[in-house]
Chains A and B, each alone.
Chain A
Amino acid sequence: MRSKSHSSRESAIPAEPIDLDMTPMMNMLIILISFLVTMVVFTHLAVIKFSLPPGQGNAAADTSTAPKGAEVDITVLVSEEGYRIIGEGRKLDPIPKNKGQYDLPTLGKYLQKLKEEFATAETVVLLIDTSVIYQDVISTMDQCRESKFPKILLSGGFE
């Protein structure tokens, strides 16, 4: 309003810069920040759910459980050397470790191929060597899930 009525004069005398009162804004932001800092979570925890096969209560994860009925039997061997997929009585080429790391992309490709071949297959049995560390087990399970095999059974020989 004011600036409009004085528009003719403004060109001659430069208008004083408008002072925004930032104090309430700052107060609000600081309170908001302290509130958010107390509620913030930097590590998001999640869980991977899996069950022992029903009726196998006594035989735990160490028993290799053949998927029942029409399910296709796909087993991924996880050993110190790398992966090896055994499916339907066939053995696919072994997937050796790449620079000391498990070759997850190649495993994904192989599983993808198997998925195309057996579209209904959902179960993968992981046969894991006893010395494989937990992070590799989890990564392998992740890769299986990404390759659309949501049912993962853990298995392994106990020495």
Chain B
Amino acid sequence: MSLKRRKTTEAIKPQMTSLVDVLTVLVFFLLKNFSTEGDILTPSKNLELPVSTAIARPEKVLTISISRENILADGQAIASVGEEAARKDINIPALAEWLIEQRKNTEEIAQYDANVSFKGDLVIQGDKQIPYWLLQKVLHTCGENGYGSFSLAVLQKNDG
């Protein structure tokens, strides 16, 4: 009995080569998708960004998201798309209010800190299905309140 057992233990030699192969390939794949920058911009929920060939990296600034149902300012829903569609006006009052408040805050901080200044930068995350009039309304509202420099968030195409 004891002899038999010893024989079987000797016979078992796990084949590690294939496993190491798989793991190595996995390591290379993950290294390719590795990002040292982390996520500066987190895409909002219920939002599918359009695909683009743009390569510019996002910066940390105020974010306005336009989903199919709502307009969100820094994650907070401030206006509904349905209501905006019904109202035939190019401004979005709720958004304007929020933008003015943010601007005031920034300018107040700028009085005490020389590194902070109001530049009027905004990141706009739009769902790829939203119609142009909605984007235009948002852009117009931002423009009227002194925000003139936009970054449209997009998903980078994978062929680069």
A interface residues, Cβ below 8 angstroms from B: 19-20, 22, 25-26, 29-30, 32-33, 36-37, 39-52, 54, 56-62, 128-135, 137-139, 141-142, 145-146, 154, 156, 158-159
Task: Tell me the dominant secondary structure on chain B's binding face.
Answer: mixed
A33-B23, A58-B144 known; 10 new pairs, CB 8 Å cut-off, are A36-B27, A36-B31, A45-B156, A47-B56, A47-B59, A49-B56, A51-B148, A62-B139, A134-B126, A142-B53
- Interface residues in B124-160 (C-beta closer than 8 Å to A): 126-133, 135-136, 139-144, 146, 148-156, 158
* Interface residue from A57, A60, A132 paired with B132 (Cβ < 8 Å): A132
Residues of B within 8 A of A42 (CB): 33
Whether B154 and A138, one on each chain, are in contact in the complex, defined by CB atoms closer than 8 angstroms, is yes
Residues of A within 8 A of B123 (CB): 47
Whether A61 and B16, one on each chain, are in contact in the complex, defined by CB atoms closer than 8 angstroms, is no
Q: Say if the beta carbon of B20 comes within 8 Å of chain A.
A: yes
Q: Provide 17 A-B residue pairs closer than 8 Å at the C-beta atoms, listed in order of the A residue.
A: A22-B20, A26-B16, A36-B27, A39-B35, A45-B153, A46-B56, A47-B154, A48-B56, A48-B151, A49-B56, A50-B150, A51-B148, A57-B143, A134-B129, A137-B50, A141-B52, A156-B132
Please report the total number of B residues contacting A with Cβ < 8 Å: 59
Whether A47 and B19, one on each chain, are in contact in the complex, defined by CB atoms closer than 8 angstroms, is no
Which 9 pairs, one residue from A and one from B, show the smallest C-beta to C-beta distance? A60-B143, A36-B30, A60-B140, A47-B151, A130-B133, A135-B128, A44-B156, A22-B16, A41-B35
Shortest beta-carbon distance, B38 to chain A, in Å? 8
When A and B form their complex, what is the total count of cross-chain residue pairs whose Cβ atoms lie within 8 Å? 179
